[in-house]
Amino acid sequence: MSRVSPAVRSLLRQPCSSQWRKTPLIRSSLAWTKPAYQPIRCLATPAAMPSVSKENIGVYCNPAHDLWVKESGPSMEEVKTGKALKEGEVTIAIKSTGICGSDVHFWRHGRIGPMVVEHDHILGHESAGEIIAVHPSVKNLSVGDRVAVEPSSICNKCEPCLTGRYNGCLEMRFMSTPPVDGLLRRYVNHSAIWCHKIGDMSYEDGAMLEPLSVSLAGMHRAQIALGDPVLICGAGPIGLMTLLCCAAAGAEPIVITDIDQNRLNVAKEICPRVKTYKVEPGVSMEEAGAAMSKLAGGALTTALECSGVESSIAAAIYSVKFGGKVFVIGVGKPDMQIPFMRLSTQEIDLQFQYRYANTWPRAIRLVQSGVIDMKRLVTHRFDLEDAVGAFETSAASAKTGAIKVLIQNP
């Protein structure tokens, strides 16, 4: 009868740790024998043992409008050990992040409406990356998964949350909106439910899902349908993204406006059938609106305002016909003057949008299938260490030709 020595039996009862295992027992012709035990390093796949070799850094601004890169949390040690992870969280190695106009605004102006930069503040909310650590409570994600990060954290208790419109959460913590730090870091801990798998999609496209979500939310609420005549005001990143969406939805005709001819040229490149209108200085709101309407054949039913500029919103109001709609996607100054009587006498609906809800799965499907191709919108790329130069390039878009500037962390 085969026997196992007490020493071997004791070793067999010991669990194999993540770092060490024991060699197998060696069977002789007569019985199991005690081998010479040597500890052997556990083999692990690259996905299970991600490389964390650099300290975490982030891109900061402050009330004095300074912009700089310095060390940030979680620390490299916390990332390696997972000690800082809370229940339901994962650690993401951020690979690509887009600079949003709001990031530039927080840096240069220190506020957007009631959202004020009061301390050192980390920017960025358009990001994608790789999962490198997972809290044991997380079951839907694994180390090595490629994800796009929806930068939200909600209460799941208020009416907007419970009715599916969580962008209106009364306790929303939106990353990069003060006082909540943003995603422009090497490593970030975030709730797993807001990390959307992107498969083999590029990290650049994954980062661009955030501005695409803004456009998709606007398209959904404005109810753009096949054959609708549409005006898009502003050919910045959101305006051009909205153009891609309107074209994919079959809107016709489509007119897009801007003060920058270069951006209108890009609009024509990504959608050859679009009609462009360059806004010139000194032209009244009424004149601009009439010219836009004429360019569309006088049948504009919906204007999607993507700039947030007061004069552009007013021109959009003058462009649509009786019973039309002006849907404002862009963000502007806190108080504005609008042509109220034009809205009233023409029964024009004026609607607004705040961020997005439930858009990421749809955005991922559109990009993965090739229905939406956002690559042309990316004009500049910078390493994370050179983030200050990236922001300067984005802020000087009229001179640099920047549309979407991405910050990368290979």
pLDDT tens, position by position, 361-402 = 999 999 999 999 999 999 999 999 999 999 999 999 999 999
The pLDDT of residue 38: 33
The pLDDT of residue 28: 34
Report pLDDT digits (tens) over 292-335: 999 999 889 999 999 999 999 999 999 999 999 999 999 998 99
| pLDDT tops 50 at residue 27 | no
Q: 64 and 151 in contact (C-beta within 8 Å)?
A: no
| pLDDT tops 80 at residue 408 | yes
| pLDDT tops 70 at residue 115 | yes
Q: 147 and 207 in contact (C-beta within 8 Å)?
A: no
Q: Which of 400, 409, 410, 376 is nearest to 104 (CA)?
A: 400
The pLDDT of residue 40: 24
Q: Which residue has the higher pLDDT, 26 or 312?
A: 312
Cα within 13 Å of Cα(325), Cβ side: 16
Please state the rounded mean pLDDT for residues 61-86.
Answer: 96
Q: Which residue has the higher pLDDT, 18 or 173?
A: 173
Which residue has 């009424």 as its token pair?
A: 286
Mean pLDDT in the chain? 89
Q: Which two tokens stand for residue 177?
A: 């909106």
Peptide bond into 179 cis (omega under 30): yes
d(CA 98, CA 127): 7
The pLDDT of residue 97: 98
The pLDDT of residue 50: 60
| pLDDT tops 70 at residue 48 | no
Q: Which two tokens stand for residue 90?
A: 């994962």
The pLDDT of residue 360: 96
Report pLDDT digits (tens) over 122-157: 999 999 999 999 999 999 999 999 999 999 999 999
Coil/strand/helix, residue 254: strand
Backbone torsions φ then ψ of 131, nearest 5 degrees? -70, 125
Q: Which residue has the higher pLDDT, 320 or 1?
A: 320
Q: How far is CA 21 from CA 11, 16, 26, 41, 404, in A?
A: 10, 5, 15, 7, 49
Answer positive or negative: Cα dihedral of 390, 276, 341, 349: negative
Q: Which residue has the higher pLDDT, 28 or 275?
A: 275
